[in-house]
């Protein structure tokens, strides 16, 4: 099992460009991140390469994430913004050697039919997937919880899976976030088993506080053991809010040798 750290939510003690070095110093060999809005992409690329990191995944532009936006693809007024971002994001992925990009579905729009929104989202994801396929890249789609993210369009695994199938592209897969789905539906292991062939990326945090594994109600030794037993060979992304004074202290559950080289569940301090 191999792990990567999401530098958009971890290492918030430092500016984004410094977080890549902090991740490497903490022993990680791979990172993921949300779209680096407001950052110079050349500087982002240099910071990642200077740190000697792989990039497991990053997001397409999802709008003003700190302001509460959660995706552009289902909003008619943001269609061109998303499509303009696609080649920019794919170029960055190629330069970084990243094979996967995550697309967020967006919020329900008052007064707009849900089916119309999903149809627009489908068209936009098809566009992104077709562009990505020509470069050998994948697009992933995730369900997220509505408690913290507002009226998000896809908030259960079945909804996200149905949407992925409706897109009809072989390079469109599921991103499964254990924390979000514990909040929305529970039944984690059975759901992972059911959808494992569709899942290309997994993210973790504990519930209900979104802290590091071992700080909440999710029995992570069992969940991670079952992910391992399923044959899943992708990354497990750490996307949590540390409960500790520093981000580095929150990694106590994940021995340093596992952060860079991977390992089995028996190697974890859980």
d(CA 133, CA 131): 6
d(CA 86, CA 155): 24
Find all residues with CB under 8 Å of 75, minimum gap 6, and list them.
106, 109, 117, 120
In whole angstroms, how far apart are CA 101 and each of 200, 216, 268? Answer: 11, 29, 28
Name the residues annotated as catalytic.
142, 239
Q: What is the DSSP letter of 265?
A: G
The helix/strand/coil state of 117 is: helix
**Residue whose C-alpha is closest to residue 144's, from 75, 224, 70:** 70
Of all residues in the chain, what percent carry a pLDDT higher than 90?
A: 100
**Residue whose C-alpha is closest to residue 248's, from 238, 261, 263:** 238
pLDDT digits (tens, 9 = 90+) for 36-71: 999 999 999 999 999 999 999 999 999 999 999 999
Domains, the chain, ordered by start? 2-267 (3.20.20.150)
pLDDT digits (tens, 9 = 90+) for 169-219: 999 999 999 999 999 999 999 999 999 999 999 999 999 999 999 999 999
Verdict on whether the full-model pTM lies above 0.95: yes
């Amino acid at each position: 099992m191999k792990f990567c750290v999401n530098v958009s939510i971890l290492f918030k003690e430092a500016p984004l460009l410094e977080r890549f070095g902090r991740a490497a110093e903490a022993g990680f060999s791979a990172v993921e991140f949300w779209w680096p809005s407001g950052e110079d992409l050349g500087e982002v690329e240099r910071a990642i390469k200077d740190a000697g990191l792989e990039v497991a995944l990053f997001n397409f532009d999802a709008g003003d994430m700190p302001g509460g936006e959660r995706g552009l693809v289902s909003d008619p007024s943001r269609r061109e913004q998303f499509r303009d971002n696609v080649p920019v994001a794919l170029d960055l992925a190629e330069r970084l050697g990243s094979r996967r990009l995550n697309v967020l579905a967006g919020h329900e729009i008052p007064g707009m039919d849900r089916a119309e929104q999903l149809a627009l989202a489908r068209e936009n994801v098809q566009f992104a997937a077709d562009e990505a396929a020509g470069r050998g890249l994948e697009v992933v789609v995730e369900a997220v919880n509505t408690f913290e993210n507002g009226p998000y369009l896809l908030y259960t695994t079945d909804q996200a899976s149905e949407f992925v199938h409706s897109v009809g592209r072989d390079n469109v897969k599921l991103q499964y976030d254990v924390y979000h789905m514990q909040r929305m539906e529970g039944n984690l292991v059975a759901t992972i088993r059911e959808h494992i062939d569709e899942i290309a990326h997994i993210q973790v945090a504990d519930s209900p506080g979104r802290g590091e594994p071992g700080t909440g109600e999710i029995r992570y030794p069992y969940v991670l053991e079952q992910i391992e037993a399923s044959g899943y060979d992708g990354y497990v992304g750490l996307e949590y809010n540390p409960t500790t004074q520093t981000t580095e202290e929150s990694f106590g559950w994940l021995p340093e040798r596992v952060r860079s080289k991977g390992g089995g569940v028996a190697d974890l301090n859980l």
